[in-house]
Amino acid sequence: MSKTQTISTTASDATVAAAAAQFLSPVVLGLQALVVNGKQAHWHVRGANFIGVHEFLDTLVEHAGDFADTAAERIVALGLPIDARVSTVAEKAAKTAVPAGFTASDDLVRAVISDIDAILADVRTAIDGLDEVDLTSQDVAIEIMRGLEKDRWFLVSHVAA
């Protein structure tokens, strides 16, 4: 049996850690779900934009994994654990738009954009919630937003008229 252990902190530090975990945990789970579903999309994209979308999805998956790691490490650095086990991520991933099978590139790109938008909503909540609690954790969320918005722009460019 494993035990969850937290690092001894002051009440103020504990408040900061709890806030960081509260606001960054949904971001981590959403990003980990994007890693899994981004690979699903990568393997099943079809259509005229195949190679561009296929290759960019690998980049998106890499970025999402890096962003998730940054947010999770912030929580752990503050002394709290994060539950990002497969079963926990699966609960978040089940609510995503990426379909299970082969999908036309335009439809698949729109589904991935929808998933990114859901994560961005969690990121915005984190940015707002951390504003008066922990600016360092807020900076983590802002950096994630910057990167996700850039990746979203690249995907939107595939389906823009």
Q: pTM value?
A: 0.90
In a domain, 3, yes or no: no
Our count of domains for the chain comes to 1
- The pLDDT, as a whole number, for residue 92 is 83
* CATH code of the domain covering residue 51: 1.20.1260.10
9-13, 39-43, 68-72, 87-91, range with the lowest pLDDT: 9-13
Q: Is the pLDDT of residue 36 over 80?
A: yes
Residue 48's pLDDT is 84
pLDDT at 148: 98
Cβ partners under 8 Å of residue 97, min gap 6: 110, 111, 112, 114, 115
Confirm whether 6 is domain-assigned: no
**Domain contains 5:** no
Check residue 7 and give its pLDDT.
Answer: 46
Judge whether 82 lies within some domain.
yes
Whether the pLDDT of residue 107 is over 80: the answer is yes
Q: Which two tokens stand for residue 45?
A: 């994209």
